[in-house]
Amino acid sequence: MINPKKLRDAGAILKNYKRGEVLFYEDAIARYYYQVDQGEIKMNNYNQEGKEYIQGIFAKGKSFGEPPLFADFTYPANAEAIIDSKVWQLPKDKFLKLLEENPEIHHKFTSTLALRLYYKAIMVSEISTQEPEHRILRILDYFKKNNTTDKTDSLSYKVELTRQQLADLTGLRVETVIRSIKKLEQKGELSIKNRKVYR
């Protein structure tokens, strides 16, 4: 996350997006650095049959869609508002200038990319070799880690993801997620209180 004040000073503007609105499409050329101010943005792909894969969900303070700003390639996925959102938008050249003039921001930014690469490396391995329950737990733990400081395994973290979103994040079908979650509850790996998952 870059300090919003710094962003504004560098020339960023705050844009509003309604639930369902698309910020950019897969294969488009990247022109801006984006950072969530309010709301939730997802990046996703659809295959020929319309099956969705969610690359990531970005909440307050998170940036997304930066990699294509650094090299000659287009967006690997779409970006869409999950709920009504406000997003900082900084033109590419101004963003690169900002990094250039602020080595500490550049370093922090590199760390962010590194962490995202780490997450992707784990997920691609999970999806290709692990069974549904294992994959789901990984996603839950990733969201828990990113949204709490709680390091216990007390099943106290409330998962704010629908079964469908979990399916789209893990490459599974919603029915499979529902059934797997039930099994995980029986095994004591998570708990379900009026339909909400706790991990």
By the criterion CB under 8 A, which residues form the site for its own copies?
45-47, 51-53, 55, 66-71, 73, 76-77, 99-100, 103, 106-107, 109-111, 113-118, 120-125, 127-130, 170-171
Indicate the SS3 state at residue 149: coil
* CA distances (Å), origin 11, targets 15, 66, 103, 113: 13, 17, 18, 23
Of residues 5 and 71, the one with the C-beta less far from its own copies: 71
To the nearest whole angstrom, how small is the minimum distance from the Cβ of residue 147 to its own copies? 17
Cα 10 to chain centroid, rounded: 25
Q: How many residues bind DNA (CB under 7 A)?
A: 20
Q: Which does 103 bind (CB under 5 to 8 A by kind): its own copies, DNA, none?
A: its own copies
End-to-end CA distance of the chain: 26
To the nearest whole angstrom, how small is the minimum distance from the Cβ of residue 145 to its own copies? 10
Distance CA 85, CA 31 (A): 19
48 binds DNA (CB under 7 A): no
With CA atoms as reference, report the closest residue to 113 among 174, 43, 46, 63.
Answer: 63
Distance CA 42, CA 74 (A): 17
**139 Cβ contact list (under 8 Å, min separation 6):** 123, 161, 166, 169, 170
181 binds DNA (CB under 7 A): yes
189 binds DNA (CB under 7 A): no
Of residues 16 and 131, the one with the C-beta less far from its own copies: 131
To the nearest whole angstrom, how small is the minimum distance from the Cβ of residue 64 to DNA? 21
Which residues make up the interface to DNA (CB under 7 A)?
Answer: 49, 51, 131-132, 162-164, 171-176, 178-179, 181-182, 192, 194-195
